[in-house]
Structure 1
């Protein structure tokens, strides 16, 4: 499946398959694949990895690793768009603002 002629997804599972075919699979600290989650919204599917909470040797919780991104698979075109690793609603709002600016 190429980015030039993508097939639009009709289910969250199809959106995950598109992301897996176009991007490197995120890994957990032990090297195993990180689980991917999907948040469906009117214009697309927000696909992102989930990392378990970690603690230091004393049991104190550690912050999530910095950086990363989330991927939006656009429902009507199958196009993929990366957005920063923001909370779900903030990532979707950024996607909407970027789309409006392009129009």
Structure 2
């Protein structure tokens, strides 16, 4: 994703969160962290791209895979972020559904996911 694809990006600050892409159907069920990461990459700017994350990480838990990004440090750590926020992605091990969660630390995001996740009954 190029700088021109990102509105409101400021060099040295985390990029604008990726645009929301409605889920047209569940993803295939991932069988391991590598497959979950491949699905998760579709929901973030390219790692290392201008304004993109410096890395994507997978946190496996009982009913899903949490994908979260790390962002390069801001040039001025005392400045307020231009675009606070962002999101984590969870891919369900039960039905492949992709969910967006706030950019909480992994343990807090997993706890929130347990509170709000309802498997599809279709």
2:61 to 18, 27, 41: 41
- Per-residue displacement from partner, 1:67-99 (whole Å, max 9, x unpaired)? 000000111221110100011111111111102
Q: Which residue in the other structure is 2:50 paired with?
A: 31
Give ranges in structure 2 of 5+ residues lacking alignment.
1-22
Which of structure 1's runs of 4+ aligned residues deviate more than 3 A?
61-65
Single out whichever of 63-72 and 40-49 deviates more from structure 2. Answer: 63-72
Q: Which residue in the other structure is 2:94 paired with?
A: 76
SS at match of 1:54: coil
Q: Is the 8 A contact 1:3 1:79 kept in 2?
A: no
Q: Which has the larger strand fraction?
A: 1
1:52 to 55, 66, 72: 72
Taking only aligned residues, the RMSD between alpha carbons, in angstroms, comes to 2.9
Counterparts of 1:55 and 1:24, CA distance in 2: 22
Against the structure 1 CA distance between its residues 63 and 73, is the aligned structure 2 distance closer, same or farther, given a 3 Å change threshold?
Answer: farther
Q: Is the 8 A contact 2:40 2:89 kept in 1?
A: yes
2:40 to 9, 19, 27: 19
